Amino acid sequence: MRMGIMSETWLQTARRVLPNLVRLSRQIRPTIHLSSVSDICLEQLNREGIKAILWDVDGTLMAHHAGRVDPSIAGAFTALLRATDLRHAIVSNCQEARAAELGQMFPEVPVVLGYETKVGCVFRITRDVETKWWSPDHGRLFGKPEIVSPIRKPSAKLIESALVELNMSNEPEAVLLVGDQYFTDIVSANLVGVRSAKVPTMKQSSFPIPVKLSQQLETILYRLKYGRPSFGWLEETKIQHTAED
Ligand SMILES: [Mg+2]
């Protein structure tokens, strides 16, 4: 059953990405490549005017469906969470059960999921054990609407919803999305004008085989297009919108 749920998740992502591969491949360039979440320092964020971070979780902060932030980056991550004036949200392509786990793991950080429903697109925001549903068209919803399909990265809508939650809709360039995948995390950031940091996938061996393959393939595609990336904050890294058009 669990295997079935995981398969469904990657299949849904594949269905969204594959038909649009050529168009999306123009949006895979991150603002910056970092070799680890530990390389994100507050001073640099302040210099770049970053006020909020959108986090991918699996592969970025921990192994696939792990129960806690990987010890190798836990200190750096906690320091960012504790920083005053820095807002955070989690944008994950996970299922609801995993979102509930993440809500408990990061009680102070909203976890944003999106769905197409009979009443249009609707977002589920989990903060700790509390869940609220809202829609850009109808505002706050009371009760779970009938879901047609999930909205997943690389959807611009999902990121826009996180910006609404963080009150950052008017300044997407002051938001940094941190993720490990080009065709989900980085594309969705570029589609919205949010800046992005690409980190290597953490504990790649923990992922289901199709996901592992897609991670390896997209790395090859990126290198064919842009060459081997340089890691770290570069001279005038002035993080900026890096999509081609
Ligand atoms: Mg990931």
For ligand 1, the distance from its centroid to the CA atom of residue 60, given in whole angstroms, is: 5
Q: Which of 155, 121, 193, 123 is nearest to 20 (CA)?
A: 155
User: 238 in a domain, yes or no?
Assistant: no
Average pLDDT in the 92-118 region?
A: 91
Identify the CATH number of the domain in which residue 131 sits: 3.40.50.1000
User: 232 in a domain, yes or no?
Assistant: no
Evaluate if residue 44 carries a pLDDT over 80.
Answer: yes
Choice between 186 and 232, residue whose per-residue pLDDT is larger: 186
- 59-88 tens-digit pLDDT: 999 999 999 999 999 999 999 999 989 999
For ligand 1, the distance from its centroid to the CA atom of residue 184, given in whole angstroms, is: 8
Torsion of CA 137, 140, 144, 147, to 10 degrees: 20
User: 245 in a domain, yes or no?
Assistant: no
Evaluate if residue 104 carries a pLDDT over 70.
Answer: yes
Q: What is the pTM of this model?
A: 0.89
Structural domain range at position 71: 2-18+30-224
User: 239 in a domain, yes or no?
Assistant: no
For ligand 1, the distance from its centroid to the CA atom of residue 241, given in whole angstroms, is: 21
Distance CA 43, CA 25 (A): 32
Evaluate if residue 245 carries a pLDDT over 60.
Answer: no
What residues pack around ion ligand 1 (CB closer than 5 A)?
A: 56, 58-59, 180
pLDDT value for 8: 66
Long-range contacts, stretch 135-139, CB < 8 angstroms, 24+ apart? 136/161, 136/164
User: 24 in a domain, yes or no?
Assistant: no
- 133-179 tens-digit pLDDT: 999 888 888 888 888 888 999 999 999 999 999 999 999 999 999 99
User: 209 in a domain, yes or no?
Assistant: yes
User: 100 in a domain, yes or no?
Assistant: yes
Distance CA 10, CA 127 (A): 25
Write the DSSP assignment of 67-123 as a string of letters. Answer: SS--HHHHHHHHHHHH-TT-EEEEE----HHHHHHHHHHSTTS-EEEEEEETTEEEE
Place 231 in a pLDDT band, splitting at 50, 70 and 90.
confident
Identify whether the C-beta of residue 95 lies closer than 8 Å to the C-beta of residue 65. Answer: no
User: 236 in a domain, yes or no?
Assistant: no
For ligand 1, the distance from its centroid to the CA atom of residue 58, given in whole angstroms, is: 4
Place 95 in a pLDDT band, splitting at 50, 70 and 90.
confident
For ligand 1, the distance from its centroid to the CA atom of residue 142, given in whole angstroms, is: 30
Q: 10 Å Cβ neighbour count for 46?
A: 13
For ligand 1, the distance from its centroid to the CA atom of residue 54, given in whole angstroms, is: 12
∠ Cα 18 24 28 (to 5°): 120
pLDDT value for 7: 47
Residues forming a β-bridge with 132: 125
Tell me how many domains the chain contains.
1
For ligand 1, the distance from its centroid to the CA atom of residue 226, given in whole angstroms, is: 21
Place 6 in a pLDDT band, splitting at 50, 70 and 90.
very low
Place 5 in a pLDDT band, splitting at 50, 70 and 90.
very low
